[in-house]
Amino acid sequence: MLRVAVLGAGRIGRIHAANVAADRRAKLVAVADPLKGAAQELASRLSCEAALDAVSVIERKDVDAVVIGTPTDTHVDLLLHAVKHGKAVLCEKPIDLNLGRADAAVAEIERLRGRVMLAFNRRFDPSAQEIRRAIDAGEIGVVRQVIITSRDPEVPPREYSRHCGGIFRDMTIHDFDMGRWLLGEEPVEVMASGSRLVDPSLAEFDDFDTIMVLMRTASGRQCHINNCREAVYGYDQRLEVFGSVGMLLNDNLRPTTVKRWRKDETDARQPLLNFFLERYADAYRIELGRFLDAVESGQPMPVTAFDGRQALRLADCALESARSGRAVKV
Ligand SMILES: NC(=O)c1ccc[n+]([C@@H]2O[C@H](COP(=O)([O-])OP(=O)(O)OC[C@H]3O[C@@H](n4cnc5c(N)ncnc54)[C@H](O)[C@@H]3O)[C@@H](O)[C@H]2O)c1
């Protein structure tokens, strides 16, 4: 049984901790969070230990692996500390906000032969997995275009916007990873456009709330990503992959499949699942399972720190393009 600690008892840490506690192959040893009461509340709900200091939890002899769900600017330090102590790591996205630091972390992980998985949870969504399987099986021939729509239901709190590194590194980072994964080739050029249509005050952080990105690979495959921080109808998550002999389309999920017909509406369905915690509940659970599989078997991690670095590089290119109005070579 793998003994796991979860660092960070916030929105995502609570999800990971509950999934560790529910997985029969793992034992949740402790949760750590410096915020008074945060770890304690989660620990008493999940019957594990609580700690204020993540570093000492990493160093515990009875911890084999850690899940990092702390703010982004703490990821690299915590993950390298864990690797140095021989612990396997599942680390939340983005790996860091600074490409130089991400590169140095990837090099250090390689040097120490660290076992690190980046938590790009959307790859583990059952529909995304089916799309990847269908591409691999040749069902749509050669991939030509990937179209990703990803819109949040509401803008994050202002404090979050202040520290998140901007929409490309915080939100589009998932889509950069998904784009790379589905294209099957590395993008070589990025063009992006950014607007402030929801919250003009984001100008204070030089950030955007509404973006479009176009990426092109060396062979000419294309990926289009569109994001908005606010969609009044809910969390909009759609994927389309177009190939030489077909197309794969993944629509939004709703709580049920029921449709309604009435005097003033037809084909009406329930609102979309509210946000990431609901929409990707299965993906987070499966992601953790794949992490535990890799740790147990010694097989390669399904998503690596290098994947985290590549997504960050694409985010940086998109930001440069949105600011300059020019296409940027990756
Ligand atoms: N994969 C996803 O779908 C997804 C979703 C949300 C957030 N995230 C990522 O997860 C990370 C956390 O985001 P969140 O929304 O849960 O934030 P949050 O603010 O809700 O939670 C972060 C928690 O970490 C704690 N913390 C701060 N420093 C710490 C340290 N050194 N050791 C231990 N705990 C520490 C904070 O007190 C807080 O409780 C971010 O990097 C974010 O990008 C990923």
SS3 122: helix
Best mutation site among 52, 58, 70, 150 for ligand 1 pocket (most ligand atoms within 8 Å of CB): 70
Ligand 1 atom at shortest distance from the alpha carbon of 75: 41
User: Distance, CA 92 to ligand 1 centroid (Å)?
Assistant: 8
Answer whether 69 contacts ligand 1 (Cβ < 6 A). Answer: yes
Ligand 1 contacts CB of residue 32 (under 6 A): yes
Alpha carbon distance 303, 284 (integer Å): 13
Ligand 1 binding pocket includes 12 (Cβ within 6 Å) = yes
**Cα 3 to middle of ligand 1, angstroms:** 21
Tens of each residue's pLDDT in the chain, 330 residues: 999 999 999 999 999 999 999 999 999 999 999 998 999 999 999 999 999 999 999 999 999 999 999 999 999 999 999 999 999 999 999 999 999 999 999 999 999 999 999 999 999 999 999 999 999 999 999 999 999 999 999 999 998 888 899 999 999 999 999 999 999 999 999 999 999 999 999 999 999 999 999 999 999 999 999 999 999 999 999 999 999 999 999 999 999 999 999 999 999 999 998 899 899 999 999 999 999 999 999 999 999 999 999 999 999 999 999 999 999 999
Q: Rounded to the nearest whole angstrom, what is the distance from the C-alpha of residue 89 to the centroid of ligand 1?
A: 15
Phi, psi of 239 (to 5 degrees): -135, 140
Instruction: Point out the ligand 1 atom lying closest to the alpha carbon of residue 54.
Output: 32
Specify the pLDDT at position 222.
98
Structure tokens at 149: 């729509």
Does the beta carbon of 119 sit less than 6 angstroms from any atom of ligand 1? yes
Q: Is 92 in the pocket of ligand 1 (CB under 6 A)?
A: yes
d(CA 40, CA 30): 10
314 close to 186: Cβ distance less than 8 angstroms: no
pLDDT at 143: 98
- Tell the residue nearest (CA) to atom 17 of ligand 1: 10
Residue 238 CB coordination number (10 Å): 14
Handedness of CA 229, 234, 235, 238 (dihedral sign): negative
The response to whether residue 5 sits with its C-beta less than 6 Å from ligand 1 reads no
Ranges of H-type helices in the chain: 11-22, 38-46, 54-59, 75-84, 99-111, 126-136, 158-163, 167-170, 172-183, 276-279, 281-297, 305-324
Our answer on whether the CB atom of 38 is closer than 6 Å to any ligand 1 atom is yes
> Does this model's pTM top 0.85?
yes
CA dihedral 125, 126, 131, 136 (to 10 degrees): 110
What pLDDT score was predicted for residue 46?
97
From the CB of 295, is ligand 1 less than 6 Å away?
no
Rounded to an integer, what distance in angstroms lies between the CA atom of residue 323 and that of residue 194? Answer: 8
Residue that has been written with the tokens 């535990």 in this structure: 292
Q: Which class for 284: exposed (0-12), middle (13-18), buried (19 or more C-beta within 10 A)?
A: buried
- State residue 208's pLDDT score: 97
